[in-house]
Structure 1
Amino acid sequence: MIDDGDDEMPAEDEEMQRTSKKNSVKIEQHLFDRECWNGSSVVRNYNVDFKSDVFCQKDIREHTGCVNALRFSHGEQLLATGGDDLQSRIWKVDELMLRKNPKPDFLAEKRHTSNIFSLEFDLEDRFIYSGEHRGAVYKHDIQTNQVISSLKRSDVRSSAYNMDHHPSDSHLLAVTFANQVCFLDNRDFKHPIQFKTSRAAGGGDFYSAEFHPESPVLMLLNAEDGGPNVFDRRNPSRPVFLRNKFSGIRTDTRGHGYMGATWSPSGNQFMVLRKLSSPLYFDLISQRCFTLKPARNRNGYLNMKTIKSMIFIDDYTVATGSDHWGIHLWQVPRAHEDVPLVGEDRSQQYIVEKEIRVLRGHRSIPNQLRFSKHNQILVSSGVENSFKIWSNRRLPWSYDIPFVRKKNGEYDGTMEEEQAREKEERRILEDALDRDSEMEGRASYDDVFGGNDQTSEQRDTLEHFDVDEDEMMYAMDDEVDSDEERVLMRRGINEIMGHFRQDEDLHERILHMYRHAQRRRIHELQREIDRERLMAELDDILGLNDDDEVDEDENDDDDDDEDEVEGEDERDNDEEDNEDDDEDDDGRDNDEEVNDEEVNDSEGENEEDEEFDDVGADYDFFQMLFNQEDSDGDSDGDSGDEGIELPED
């Protein structure tokens, strides 16, 4: 009986187990289908696709000044912010994403004496370090809000631009001051160790020093003049990796001040920003350097007015801010992908042609960027006294239609009238969305800009950082190498913009032509332009020296080849009393108009002999560029220009 009972129990248990397993499989299959095949699945579409996703943005307005520093904790559950209001704040990321008006979980008790430029958490997210413009560094306990340590040294009176914690040593912190790089040890906070490097580190201010994420004996050090170099902390006498050893980097990059560098998550790549020039991306695996080119437009990438940071979304996707208020993202070819070199000789480069995305919504320059892989959100801040959260998911009280602001000088009336106009236009838009039942959960104008007067938008501060047309001359262009050509470009574009402001397409074409045409070539081509309208302007714009001009024979008594001039044999005798307008401009070296006055007593015409090498195609380009008719077709008219024959291509 006992044996029979023992035989029956396992059979029942086995049946129950089969049934339970079958039900479990059904439940798992149901969950899998719901999450992975549903179009709105969180699991399927969890990772952000910056190339094609639609992004919403949410403004957090709590600071009373510019937000100069952002930092996620190592667990990415906390976000630290700091800026011109001299107090660092710590926020819970979940509350930032879900609450309408989140409040900081921590407000530093100790105020800095100058603007906060850098922040960092310890490895356990128990302490927060903050560095200021005058060099002081504070360490706060997050739980008790007490200052644990502070560093104020007379020999360190320069900005603390960056801080980076050792990835495994809980005591070691690297602080980048403008004049030196130091290591702070929690056990001896008041006696930092200076990181002494060789001359290869270069001169100028230091902007960043970071530990390698996998091999922290390696340091990525960036100086304004020396650029990014990788050093071994145990022997910093010379760099381990020199940037000029990478293929694809130009050797004539002097004049482009380097501004900060950062490692990729794996440590196999790093990126660096440059003033007035394109960012650079270095791949240690393939030993290649990529120049990240932006799309060419008036609101394209520009790095000139503020100190910015850069981030890696992943090893091959990078982002940084622009003086034209955009957040620019590039995707770089992977190490095994073949990419052709562009250029000649020592100027060959690997080029990433344009961005995969430009996020717009900031009303001034976004300086700082941070990306949370766990939360899949991007956080940005800068000149505004607020910071933004970007997500490809619709966050509560976010919006997807930016609040557009016109730059200083682009609107009529006073600042107050312009703000009233913006508010009225937004009200009309919100009423339309409300009629379609689409305003629920969206942030309104009052949600973004209303509330406390101390945290409201400071319009005068924003306009102070607007890029005006004079500063547009510094628009990034790597093909301008010398200071002389850069000054020439600035003056020339300024004059062009002044003459052709009303025609935006014409302005863009001239801007593009001017940057990429050689000065000598422009001088040759301008002889073929409608002289009455453009010769004087382009002459002043180029400002060519006497030695750059083509010598011309201005002696009317010389014999000329009459075989080269056709259709000029007949002239009205009424032109006897007309004087050539170009006689009054003989003091200008660049006056190349032909004196076509014909006297009745003269036995023939005097015509200058000019040769133009391979300019026919370019002449057609200029005709298209200035939307003018073919001057050869008008040679029989009353125009002062005579039809100049151009050689066939």
Structure 2
Amino acid sequence: MPAEGTRMAGLWEREVGRLRPKRFANAFMASRDFVQSLGIQKRLREHRGCVNTVSFNSSGSLLLSGSDDMTLVLWDWEAGTPATSLHTGHENNVLHAQFMPSSNDRSIITAGADGEVRHMQMREGGPVVVDRFVELEYPVHRLAVEPGSPHTFYSCGGDGSVWHFDLRGKEATKLFSCPSINDKTTKIIELYAVAMDPRNPCYFALSGSDEYVRLYDRRKSFVNGGSLFGTPVEHFCPPHLIGQNKDGITGLAFSQAGEMLASYSYDNIYLFEREHGLHFNNFKVGEKLLMDETMGATLPQTFKGHQNMQTVKGVNFLGPNYDFVASGSDCGYVFIWRKKGGELIRVMKGDKRIVNCVEQHPSESIFASSGIDTSIKIWGAGGSEDPSVANFDEVDDPDPYLFSMSSDSDSSVYMDDYIFAPVSGSSDGEDEDDDSSGEDTTSSDEEDTEEMAEGDESEEEEDTEEMADGDEGGEEDGKAGDGEMDDD
């Protein structure tokens, strides 16, 4: 019998009937062996622009994606083919899209760079009916569906506003605008992320263009002193960033245990628990702390090595028990850390330029990633393409925005301009994601990771103008779908 606690021991127990297959699968997905065995199983090609959002339905049979080409694609990801392609009606990039729960995968919500939030209802044997809920002057970056509800969800965007939607009455209600903490005037911050606590749908979190994660309780009034400003029940921020007015937080994610991941621009990813709250520790929000004031505080877990400066990146948990943390990076790699201890376990090439999204399958050892490339990568154990040989095209002409950026540049100047640049050219619609050259890095050493990231970033800075022209040109000549659409 193999040594107890090893993978071979688990295989032996499964074979002799001592370990249920589901329990064995979960144990494997929570192991280092699982992460080390990951490879690209499939590449999904249909979009003609950057793929800004990917998400699975509740059963995991379908993958939903949205793109700069203003279309949605519902994928039969196992077959590697589109099940349905849909025109969204958005007049600019689709930034986020989600299935509504308990809707037989026929109810989809979308948010776009055109400032619109839309609801798409796919009627059996009939047209796709689209309702436009709001039309704002700034991009709507993110949506958050109330857990288990087929009717209600939230949005946040560039104008700092938070909206609540109810599909039953086709109602949209502005809850509040999010005020700056560091600026004592009535300045509003730009919001990049909203996330719901899966344990308690009464709580949702917001993050944006400052250093604070704000936690709200929807049961409490959103009116503060007669203004429209919401009042958080808690704030979260690493002590060394308090009062620094940094470049913001682009991604949020909750675990089933109520932990929160926050991906900071020009900084690291942090894991917050209840005891890391500023009010919990009697810290005054908005004032820089002295070293001796933080000595007794419990510090959040930190995940280092990736780069988050050029685009709005998400962050996520992986594993059946949220055992790992995953993120894309400006260097075009997918980073995976062990949640406990923050050890960097795997770094895998996932895009020619930038990976923005990493989303896990609801029940299988599968996840999807997307970014600046027009294709989506499906990752799994023993994938047919090892990341060490999963190569990507090289393009010739540099994008002046990326070429001029450095670690000292102000990401707030480039972030939205880079993602939401106006159409400036046309595209032949071909996917540029064919094989050429690339590397995989599996070292957990931070210095090695940083050298790899810098090397890849210098390559991507030499050749992105063709990418920008090709992706943005999808608005003019992209045939985006076969679904009919009625706009109510």
- Is the pair's TM-score, using the shorter chain for normalization, greater than 0.5? yes
1:55-94 correspondence runs (5 A): 55-57=38-40, 58-92=42-76
Distance in 2 (alpha carbons) for counterparts of 1:201 and 1:79: 38
1:220 maps to 2:205: yes
- Who is 1:349 aligned against? none
**Alpha-carbon distance, 1:84 to partner:** 1.3
1:140 maps to 2:120: yes
Kept in 2: contact 1:66–1:83 (CA 8 A): yes
In structure 2, stretches of 5+ residues that fail to align are 1-11, 183-187, 225-230, 278-297, 411-446, 452-488
Q: Specify whether residues 226 and 249 from structure 1 end up closer, same or farther in structure 2 by C-alpha distance, changes over 3 A only.
A: closer
1:175 maps to 2:110: no
Per-residue CA distance 1:523-544 (angstroms, 9 max, x = gap): xxxxxxxxxxxxxxxxxxxxxx
Deviates more, 1:229-238 or 1:318-327: 229-238
Deviates more, 1:196-205 or 1:73-82: 196-205
**Alpha-carbon distance, 1:226 to partner:** 5.6
Q: Specify whether residues 404 and 43 from structure 1 end up closer, same or farther in structure 2 by C-alpha distance, changes over 3 A only.
A: closer
Task: Kindly indicate which of the two structures has a greater share of residues assigned to strand.
Answer: 2
Distance in 2 (alpha carbons) for counterparts of 1:242 and 1:44: 34
Per-residue CA distance 1:70-90 (angstroms, 9 max, x = gap): 111122222100101111011
Kept in 2: contact 1:182–1:195 (CA 8 A): yes
- Who is 2:6 aligned against? none
Per-residue CA distance 1:564-593 (angstroms, 9 max, x = gap): xxxxxxxxxxxxxxxxxxxxxxxxxxxxxx
1:283 maps to 2:273: yes
Kept in 1: contact 2:70–2:87 (CA 8 A): no
- In the alignment, residue 283 of structure 1 is paired with which amino acid? E
- In the alignment, residue 37 of structure 2 is paired with which amino acid? V
- Who is 1:292 aligned against? 302
**Alpha-carbon distance, 1:251 to partner:** 2.6
Say which one has the larger Rg. Answer: 1
Of 335, 360, 364, the match for 1:371: 360
Kept in 2: contact 1:283–1:289 (CA 8 A): no
Kept in 2: contact 1:90–1:105 (CA 8 A): yes
1:257 maps to 2:231: no
- Who is 2:310 aligned against? 305
Per-residue CA distance 1:143-202 (angstroms, 9 max, x = gap): 546343422545x1221211111113321111222221111111222x411122664677
- In the alignment, residue 49 of structure 1 is paired with which amino acid? S
After TM superposition, the score normalised by the length of structure 2 is 0.65
Q: Specify whether residues 322 and 36 from structure 1 end up closer, same or farther in structure 2 by C-alpha distance, changes over 3 A only.
A: farther
Kept in 1: contact 2:315–2:325 (CA 8 A): yes
- Who is 2:169 aligned against? 188
1:157 maps to 2:148: no
1:112 maps to 2:90: yes
Q: Specify whether residues 265 and 467 from structure 1 end up closer, same or farther in structure 2 by C-alpha distance, changes over 3 A only.
A: farther
- Who is 1:243 aligned against? 236
1:98-109 correspondence runs (5 A): 99=79, 102-109=80-87
Secondary structure of the structure 1 residue equivalent to 2:335: strand
- Who is 2:15 aligned against? 33
Distance in 2 (alpha carbons) for counterparts of 1:118 and 1:222: 16
1:323 maps to 2:330: yes
- Who is 2:374 aligned against? 385
Task: Kindly indicate which of the two structures has a greater share of residues assigned to helix.
Answer: 1
Kept in 2: contact 1:220–1:263 (CA 8 A): no
Secondary structure of the structure 2 residue equivalent to 1:196: strand
**Alpha-carbon distance, 1:399 to partner:** 4.5
Per-residue CA distance 1:477-496 (angstroms, 9 max, x = gap): xxxxxxxxxxxxxxxxxxxx
Secondary structure of the structure 2 residue equivalent to 1:117: strand
1:265-280 correspondence runs (5 A): 265-267=256-258, 269-280=259-270
Q: Specify whether residues 394 and 325 from structure 1 end up closer, same or farther in structure 2 by C-alpha distance, changes over 3 A only.
A: closer
**Alpha-carbon distance, 1:373 to partner:** 3.8
1:53 maps to 2:36: yes
- Who is 1:17 aligned against? none
Distance in 2 (alpha carbons) for counterparts of 1:168 and 1:106: 24
**Alpha-carbon distance, 1:403 to partner:** 3.8
**Alpha-carbon distance, 1:137 to partner:** 2.5
- Who is 1:123 aligned against? 101
Of 464, 472, 479, the match for 2:399: 464
Distance in 1 (alpha carbons) for counterparts of 2:113 and 2:28: 39
- In the alignment, residue 84 of structure 2 is paired with which amino acid? F
- In the alignment, residue 68 of structure 1 is paired with which amino acid? N
- In the alignment, residue 372 of structure 1 is paired with which amino acid? H
Distance in 2 (alpha carbons) for counterparts of 1:150 and 1:90: 19
Q: Specify whether residues 201 and 374 from structure 1 end up closer, same or farther in structure 2 by C-alpha distance, changes over 3 A only.
A: farther
CA RMSD of aligned residues (A): 3.5
Kept in 2: contact 1:222–1:228 (CA 8 A): yes
After TM superposition, the score normalised by the length of structure 1 is 0.50
Kept in 2: contact 1:325–1:363 (CA 8 A): yes
Distance in 1 (alpha carbons) for counterparts of 2:44 and 2:265: 29
**Alpha-carbon distance, 1:210 to partner:** 2.1
Distance in 1 (alpha carbons) for counterparts of 2:100 and 2:180: 31
Q: Specify whether residues 380 and 86 from structure 1 end up closer, same or farther in structure 2 by C-alpha distance, changes over 3 A only.
A: same
**Alpha-carbon distance, 1:466 to partner:** 9.2
Kept in 1: contact 2:36–2:346 (CA 8 A): no
Q: What is the aligned residue count?
A: 361
Per-residue CA distance 1:336-363 (angstroms, 9 max, x = gap): xxxxxxxxxxxxxxxx4x5222122421
Distance in 2 (alpha carbons) for counterparts of 1:45 and 1:315: 12
Deviates more, 1:284-293 or 1:310-319: 284-293
Distance in 2 (alpha carbons) for counterparts of 1:175 and 1:143: 25
Higher relative contact order (CA 8 A, sep 6+): 2
Secondary structure of the structure 1 residue equivalent to 2:15: helix
Kept in 1: contact 2:133–2:172 (CA 8 A): no
Q: Specify whether residues 34 and 252 from structure 1 end up closer, same or farther in structure 2 by C-alpha distance, changes over 3 A only.
A: same
Q: Specify whether residues 134 and 466 from structure 1 end up closer, same or farther in structure 2 by C-alpha distance, changes over 3 A only.
A: closer
Distance in 1 (alpha carbons) for counterparts of 2:101 and 2:173: 20
Kept in 1: contact 2:312–2:356 (CA 8 A): yes
Secondary structure of the structure 1 residue equivalent to 2:316: strand
- Who is 2:389 aligned against? 402
**Alpha-carbon distance, 1:332 to partner:** 3.4
Kept in 2: contact 1:322–1:365 (CA 8 A): yes
Distance in 2 (alpha carbons) for counterparts of 1:33 and 1:291: 38
Per-residue CA distance 1:401-458 (angstroms, 9 max, x = gap): 43445867xxxxxx4xxxxxxxxxxxxxxxxxxxxxxxxxxxxxxxxxxxxxxxxxxx
Secondary structure of the structure 1 residue equivalent to 2:138: coil
Distance in 2 (alpha carbons) for counterparts of 1:173 and 1:104: 26
Distance in 1 (alpha carbons) for counterparts of 2:112 and 2:255: 26
- In the alignment, residue 218 of structure 2 is paired with which amino acid? R
Identical-residue share of aligned pairs (%): 20
